[in-house]
Structure 1
Amino acid sequence: MKPFIFSTTKSIISEIGAINRIADICATLDILKPLIITDQGIVDVGLIQPLDTAFKKVDRKYFCFDQVVADPPEHTVLAAVAFAKEVEADGIIGFGGGSSLDTAKLVALLANSDEQLADIYGVDAIRGKRLPLILIPTTAGTGSEVTPIAIVTTGDTTKAGVVSSVLLPDIALLDASLTLGLPSHVTAATGIDAMVHAIEAYTSAIKKNPYSDLLAKQALTLLSHNIVEATFNGSNVEARQAMLLGACLAGQAFANAPVAAVHALAYPLGGHFHIPHGLSNALVLVQVMNFNLSHCAPLYAELAPSITDTISLDGSDKQIAQALIDFIADLIKQLNLPVSLAAMGIAENDIRALAKDAMLQTRLLVNNPKPVTLEDVQEIYRQAHQGTD
């Protein structure tokens, strides 16, 4: 067995209604002046109300920075850091989707140290200590609440990541009551995003390990068996809680066995065309899995029983793996998600630029079970453009 290191969030609370105890949870970390990092949409739909009620009940003052946007640019992160310092926050609560949680991680660090954002991009470049940090996802997809990664938009089409165990929060709080208002298309796309995390963790070329394997399988069971119900019957809080936990387990898996080519090809779709991250993954997932089939059919075959009981396990690994890929393709269609780049307004003559950008994602491509060339990426994008396998 290869040696490995497994790191994750210190404490995970999975409980419907746990948000009502947020003041008590803050007290366990000695947070007396919490700063909530979120986005305006969360505030507008009233999702922040349970936090407001809980803090007012104990006469606890809190602050809120609600200017996070999707794919947060550097200036947004720095504005949040400046606000945290101005109000002298002694703890940070990230509340929302992956962008809010990623921003909260960086605010917790930079509001408590002299480090500069530009100096901490990359792996293990952080030297300082962060403020106490609680992360509360309101979507079941990114797993950011248990990953040591924060992604920042650095240019018109470029992003950079900060990767360090320092960014793992003290507490991740999973409460499905916060996801009940999610539109069906967001539920579907973020759910597929979480499934991608688990699939890529299980097939990761370099750091795949027994812990991440167990988590990936359990994540896929929870996600695949609840995603249709959560998408089309969004008031089913038990299905929502299962999706939240599945996304969290998938996040733990890929935080330790990193994602690969699906994400490498998805990032340029977000950078160039502002397609949401979960949907970007869904648009290239089937094509990348087919590309990888020659190198990891046994692993896909091992995952099949965790995802569905409709596939016969009597055939060869390749037959089982192909049936699994076909099942996932059908699932994406069943969820009414777009199935081609063309449907998103992307032209064939955009493919070369997308492929060049994807090849820059070297930290992801090294994890792919099959080596990837520029020509390979172009062909995958061509297939995804037409929505063919």
Structure 2
Amino acid sequence: MTGFQFNTTKSLICRLGAATDLAASAGAILGQRVLIITDPGIRALGLIDGAVESFVAAGREVSVFDQVEADPSRSTLMAAASAGRSFGATGVVGFGGGSSLDVAKLAALLLGSDQPLDEAWGVGNAKGPRLPLVLVPTTAGTGSEVTPVSIITVENDEKRGVSSAVILPDLAVLDAGLTLGLPPAITAATGMDAMVHAIEAFASKSPNNNPLSRMLAREALRLLGANIETVCQDGSNRQAREAMLLGSMFAGQAFANSPVAAVHALAYPIGGIFHVPHGLSNALVLPHVLRFNAEAQPKLYDEIAADAFPSLADVEQGRTSAFIDALVSLAARLKLPPRLRDVGIPEEALPRMAADAMKQQRLLVNNPRVVTEIDALAIYRSAW
């Protein structure tokens, strides 16, 4: 075993109803003036109401920034930081899907540090300090509550990332009750996103790929594979919702330390240019990237195939290929669009997407097989 480093969120709470008494668990961390960062949909559904009421009842002052959009822009991030600065925030709560959590991470960094954002992009460049930070996910997909990564859309529809242990939160609160109202399409896309995290973390070529990440990736696939269809068919199944949220977190812990690779690199232009939700973007290119990798390493995914799909344990020859086919069948049963053309991407856009994907070298270096721009274009064509 080679040496490795493993970082994760300092403290976790996993309990139904935990979000409604957030002041009790997080008040001492966040201080007197709490900035909650979320999106308009979460605000309209009233999902943050319990948390706000708990802070007010505890004598804390609360300000809500609710303008986070999917694939959040740099201007949205700066607006959130400005709102926190005007309010005099002493702590930040990210409440919502991955977009809200990503904005909260960097808003906490900008509010707690004089470091310019443009100096923080990349791996290990964010130095901090940051404001106290608590993250509350409302989807079982990104695992952002336990990752040191934040992705923001900048100029020319490019997705740019900050990766630093500095932006890991002080506390993550997993309340499966917040996910009960998710529509099947969002549940399916975010669940597939979590499966991608686990798959890529397990096979990552990162020098920090480690036994803990591989163990967590496999347990994530067991939980996600066993429950994703259940939650899409019966969104009120609390036990399955809890399993999905836990599986998403395990996958997040795995890829936070053994980073993702070409699936994400090729998904980013789909989301950045065409505003396809991140989980669906991943699902659209997943089988095509895995087949590309398997051409060089035919048994690459043999070990994890039966974790997600127990019936594959009996497949002795071609298990990796069967695993990829099973993922395609799963996406079809979940009623996810199968091809790039089905989400409105024109064929003439593929060369630009391939060029944009090459900007994601921090991810591509982790892929089990080298991906050139020609390769990326061929993968997009197979997905189109």
Normalising by the residue count of structure 2, what TM-score does the alignment of the two structures yield?
0.97
Partner of 2:241 in structure 1? 240
Amino acid at match of 2:41: G
Partner of 1:344 in structure 2? 343
Cα deviation 1:56-83 (Å, max 9, x = unaligned) = 4334331111111111111111111111
Partner of 2:12 in structure 1? 12
Q: Which sections of structure 2, spanning at least 5 residues, go unmatched?
A: none
Q: CA deviation at 1:357?
A: 1.0
Residue pair 1:26, 1:32 contacting (<8 A) in 2 also: no
| Distance in 2, Cα, partners of 1:76 & 1:292 | 36
What aligned pairs does 1:293-304 form with structure 2 within 5 A after superposition? Answer: 293-304=294-305
Q: CA deviation at 1:352?
A: 1.1
Higher mean C-alpha displacement, 297-306 vs 142-151? 297-306
Partner of 1:128: helix, strand, or coil? coil
Query: Is it true that 1:254 corresponds to 2:252 in the alignment?
Result: no
Amino acid at match of 1:6: F
Partner of 2:381 in structure 1? 382
What aligned pairs does 1:201-220 form with structure 2 within 5 A after superposition? Answer: 201-206=201-206, 207-220=208-221
Partner of 2:378: helix, strand, or coil? helix
Q: Which sections of structure 1, spanning at least 5 residues, go unmatched?
A: none
Amino acid at match of 1:65: F
Amino acid at match of 1:149: V
Give the 4+ runs in structure 1 shifted more than 4 A. none
Normalising by the residue count of structure 1, what TM-score does the alignment of the two structures yield?
0.96
Amino acid at match of 1:322: S
Residue pair 1:202, 1:299 contacting (<8 A) in 2 also: no
Partner of 1:158 in structure 2? 158
Partner of 1:357 in structure 2? 356
Residue pair 2:27, 2:55 contacting (<8 A) in 1 also: no
| Distance in 1, Cα, partners of 2:276 & 2:152 | 16
Residue pair 2:262, 2:364 contacting (<8 A) in 1 also: yes
Amino acid at match of 1:46: G
What aligned pairs does 1:71-110 form with structure 2 within 5 A after superposition? Answer: 71-110=71-110
Partner of 2:161: helix, strand, or coil? strand
The number of residues matched between the two structures is 383
Partner of 1:162: helix, strand, or coil? strand
Higher mean C-alpha displacement, 150-159 vs 319-328? 150-159
| Distance in 2, Cα, partners of 1:81 & 1:360 | 27
Question: CA RMSD, aligned part only?
Answer: 1.3
Cα deviation 1:22-61 (Å, max 9, x = unaligned) = 0111234252221101111111111112213322433433
Q: CA deviation at 1:128?
A: 2.6
What aligned pairs does 1:269-288 form with structure 2 within 5 A after superposition? Answer: 269-288=270-289
Higher mean C-alpha displacement, 280-289 vs 26-35? 26-35
| Distance in 1, Cα, partners of 2:243 & 2:28 | 26
Residue pair 2:30, 2:92 contacting (<8 A) in 1 also: no
Q: CA deviation at 1:20?
A: 2.3
Partner of 2:293: helix, strand, or coil? helix
Residue pair 1:203, 1:296 contacting (<8 A) in 2 also: no
What aligned pairs does 1:301-320 form with structure 2 within 5 A after superposition? Answer: 301-316=302-317, 319-320=318-319
Query: Is it true that 1:225 corresponds to 2:238 in the alignment?
Result: no
**Identity over aligned residues, as a percent?**
52
Amino acid at match of 2:224: L
Q: CA deviation at 1:297?
A: 3.6
